[in-house]
Amino acid sequence: MATSGAMRSSYGRFLQAGPTLSTLALGRNQTPSAFFSTTAPLCKRRRKARKTNRDMNPARGVSSIYRSGPREPLSMSDIPLPRPVDFKPEVKVDENHGLWGFFPAPGKLLYTPEETEKHGRAWKVEELRKKSWEDLHALWWKCCRERNMIATSQLELERAELGFGRRELENRDEEVRKTMGAIRHALTERYYTWEDAQKVARSDPEIDMNAGEEGQAYNPSAYEEDFEDAESWEEPKDGDVASTGATAAAEEAAKTESKPESKPEKQPV
């Protein structure tokens, strides 16, 4: 059992600790405290600060492309703005400019499919053999110009994605290429003929291959002499014809008289 002295000492310690606890309780009650309030500033939830991507542009959201208009009305908002005049400057263009050759006509971008189909057939080699060098040269460059126009039209169809006219242009281009092939064929034939003529001329004694431009390359001999003799002969007149006939008869009679008489042949027995 615990003695009375021990109990007193423990009780005294308890009394010493009592005021300290009460003092702490009073001290806590004296601190200011706030009651729960439903007002907006006090009920606002506090979140962690986020990073903002704003560029501090006061005109953000105002677009001239989408015609959003300003955020606030301005002093000029009620005043109607004047409409701009359609100003098209007149630029002088040469109608005979070479670049118009890439188009169907001056100021015209494309042929319609019906206009593209209106073309003739290709030239044949038999027809081109009769043409001169100048005609073949002009026809060749006409075909080149036509192919340039067709190529420009094909690129324009692809760019605009029109979806028509390609077949008609391909048919027209095919006929042009056939004509150009026929021109090359005719020129090749002429070149081979020219080579053969050179070989014959080298073996001909009347042709001088080294005469040059000023000299005479062709020097005919026998043919020109016969031609000169034929030109120098003159036809006899009417009186001359009679004398010529008499002279011929006299010469014939003289030949007959001077001819010896032939002996009669013996008859077989």
Q: Provide the 3-class DSSP secondary structure of residue 218.
A: strand
- Euclidean distance between CA atoms 70 and 59, whole angstroms: 8
Q: What is the pLDDT of residue 125?
A: 96
> Among 132, 172, 138, which Cα is nearest to 152's?
172
Domain boundaries, the chain: 111-198
Residues 6+ apart with CB under 8 A from 153: 104, 110, 111, 116, 165, 169
Lowest-confidence region among 2-11, 62-71, 124-133 = 2-11
Is the pLDDT reported for residue 184 higher than 70? yes
* Global confidence as pTM: 0.48
Spell out the alpha helix ranges (H) of the chain.
4-29, 40-43, 113-117, 125-128, 133-160, 166-202, 222-232, 238-257
